[in-house]
A and B are shown apart, each in its own frame.
Chain A
Amino acid sequence: MSLATPGSAPADAPAVLSAPVRARRLRGARRAADLPGGRRPTGRRTAARFTPWLFLAGAVGLLLLFTYWPALNLFWYSVTDWDGIDLTKEFVGFDNYVQVFTDPRIFNVFWVSLYYFAASFAQMAIALYFATILSFSTRLSSLFRGILFFPYLINGVAVGFVFLYLFQPGGTLDTVLAWFGLADPPQWLGNPDIVNWSLAGTSVWRYTGLNFVLFLGAIQSIPHELYEAADLDGASRWQQFWAIIFPGIRRIIGLSFILAIAGSLSVFEIPFIMTGGANGSATFVIQTLQTAFNFRQVGLASAMAVVLLVIVLVVTWIQRRLFPDEKVDLT
């Protein structure tokens, strides 16, 4: 089906085509043009219509099977009282949803997200500061860039252990504080009033590098002439930041801000690895997984997962409204 399937071949055939080929191509084009919408219903062409789907089958198949099918099942499980083992599922209507919003043990964990949300502001501010100063000429800039970025690549369990070691009573952090005369440090991970700040701080250490590299990329895509012109006009670095850099990267800052909301609602790895959710550090995701796999309440856990999904979708929708012409990949 070499020439019979000119899926995306343009009508103006290149001159290199031999005469009979060009004739066939032209005839094809004319026939296609005669039909409404340019579709071609002949036998070989019907087969050709399946060709793209053959190429797509694997990727779309896995996507439907492992992403959409479970997501649909979540909705179905969420209106049952299923425990994950029974063959029968009892329909319970919206009972699970009512429980998600009324049971204080479930709903209170939402407040834990606020620590991470607050921390993500610190994270963005730090990232923006370093992205700005490293976008001007700096000695050893690629070394500093590498150091600041590297934590983002480290395995989550390794990050967890690095900070478990750092926060140990009498450990690294306490030693450093003792140098500065703070002799009586708190239990960083044992005190329920402090544990979430410690974990959120760990999360800042881990993720600042990504924000930083994204901001830096955005700043470097601003045309260099703008800075030169500003230099000539005698603008200070501070003025350059507000007049050139900030407007140039407003979009990515807005995007990061929205992502911070979704991200702080779905915090999981750091608290799960470091404390297992103890001392009031359980996040909504940890709570959901424990409900499903430890307490065997798959129905209730599915309702929690659906609530999170809906919140993320709403946040994304708002983001789309605020930054309408931005093409966004949420990762």
Chain B
Amino acid sequence: MTVTALPRRVARGRTLGERLRSTSATTAKYASLVIAAVVTLLPLSVLLFASLKTAPEYAQSGPFDLPQNWLNFDNFVTAFTSGKMLEGFVNTGIVLAVSLVGTVFLGTMAAYALDRFVFRGKKLVMGLFLVATLIPGVTSQVATFQLINGLGLYDTKAALILLFMGTDIIAIYLFIQFMQSIPISLDEAAMIDGANRWTIYWRVVLPLLKPAIATVVIIKGIAIYNEFYAPFLYLPSEGFISTSLFRFKGPFGAQWEVIAAGTIVVIIPTLVAFLLLQRWIYKGLTSGAVK
């Protein structure tokens, strides 16, 4: 290549025009980033302002007026007590915990079978998991509802747990990918020591899968926390985090300061989770989609 001849001209010999152009390009770049950040954060900030205002204060002030008292948490108390958000958080917590434990076990066991065994029907199973992602989830509730009803699970948390516990192709891919990096000689060594397949899965493979499990738990946990239609349809008489908030629409009608507080309450756990777990979240999403 002609590389050796070129670098000096490029590195040092920039004309004034080139330097000017690159400065204005940099300015444009940062300006666009700031605009994007404002567009993203502004809708959230005005809601935060509203949530800290008293009712008369809210009625009199514009959306950009800052709250008089930044520590006025009355609306949050109202949201929690009359909005039944606590019930929503407890129910979501229970469903989240049970279905995450379930999905991790079912997912890792399935991945273990698919990676460490040779058997007929393996491709079929993979195909079934792959095609399942194509079936539009919400519209097929038309039929799923009849099934849940037929099983006598309508209006129980068990319905949600069963629906969320199923594993998906992304989790299975993640587990398999990770499992392939665990040497098979470990399995074999355990076999020689007299371990059966279950012991190998439980004692050898599962503990080594921790990073993949963490990724799946985080991605799936956020998805369950944000789930709206399933609790709306299958758990009408109890609150779930999304449905508790959704029901604010009726009783709090025009009380935007309370609705704003409820919305902020729902967003805060997501924000905390995001700040603490960024790295895992990015990794989970990109490994899922960019294969």
Contacts and interface: CB of A to CB of B under 8 A. Distances in A.
Interface of A: 1-3, 5-10, 13-14, 16-18, 21, 49, 51-53, 55-56, 58-60, 62-71, 73-74, 77, 84, 126, 129-130, 133-134, 138-139, 144, 146-151, 153-158, 161-163, 165-166, 168, 171-172, 175, 205, 210, 213-214, 217-218, 221, 229, 231-234, 237, 252, 255, 266, 268-269, 272-273, 285, 288-289, 292-293, 298, 301-302, 304-305, 308-309, 312-313, 316, 326-331
Nearest to A64: B128
Contacts of B228: 155-157, 269, 273
Given A3-B191, A56-B110, A268-B138, A155 B37 contact: no
Contacts of B41: 147
Given A272-B229, A305-B139, 12 more contacts: A55-B197, A73-B147, A147-B36, A154-B267, A155-B266, A156-B228, A156-B242, A157-B243, A205-B39, A217-B286, A232-B10, A266-B136
A231 B6 CA distance: 10
A62 B64 contact: no
A158 B266 contact: yes
Contact of A156 (B36, B63, B226): B226
Nearest to B275: A146
A212 to B, nearest CB: 10
Contact of A266 (B25, B125, B138): B138
Interface string B60-103: 00111000000000000000000000000000000000000000
A180 to B, nearest CB: 14
B42 interface: yes
B194 A2 contact: yes
A59 B128 CA distance: 11
A189 B191 CA distance: 65
B32 interface: yes
Given A58-B106, A133-B33, A162-B47, A155 B226 contact: yes
Given A66-B144, A329-B288, A308 B47 contact: no
B290 interface: yes
Interface string B110-133: 101111111100100100111011
B115 to A, nearest CB: 8
Contacts of B256: 165, 168
A64 B165 CA distance: 13
Interface in B128-179: 128-130, 132-136, 138-147, 162-163, 165-170, 172-173
Given A55-B112, A269-B229, A234 B288 contact: no
A126 B6 CA distance: 35
Contacts of B266: 155, 157-158
Interface-central residue, B44, B140, B201, B242, by most chain A CB under 10 Å: B140
B117 A63 contact: no
Contact of A309 (B7, B139, B278): B139
A237 B143 contact: no
Contacts of A292: 142, 145
Contacts of A129: 32
22 contacts: A7-B119, A13-B188, A53-B113, A53-B119, A58-B110, A59-B106, A63-B167, A67-B140, A133-B29, A148-B36, A154-B270, A155-B245, A165-B50, A165-B260, A172-B46, A214-B285, A234-B9, A266-B136, A266-B138, A308-B136, A312-B135, A329-B133
A168 B59 CA distance: 13
Given A10-B184, A63-B129, A304 B139 contact: yes
A146 B274 contact: yes
Nearest to B34: A144
Nearest to A330: B133
A155 B140 contact: no
Contacts of B116: 7-8
B234 to A, nearest CB: 12
B188 A59 contact: no
Nearest to B264: A158
Contacts of A175: 62-64
Nearest to A1: B196
B249 to A, nearest CB: 8
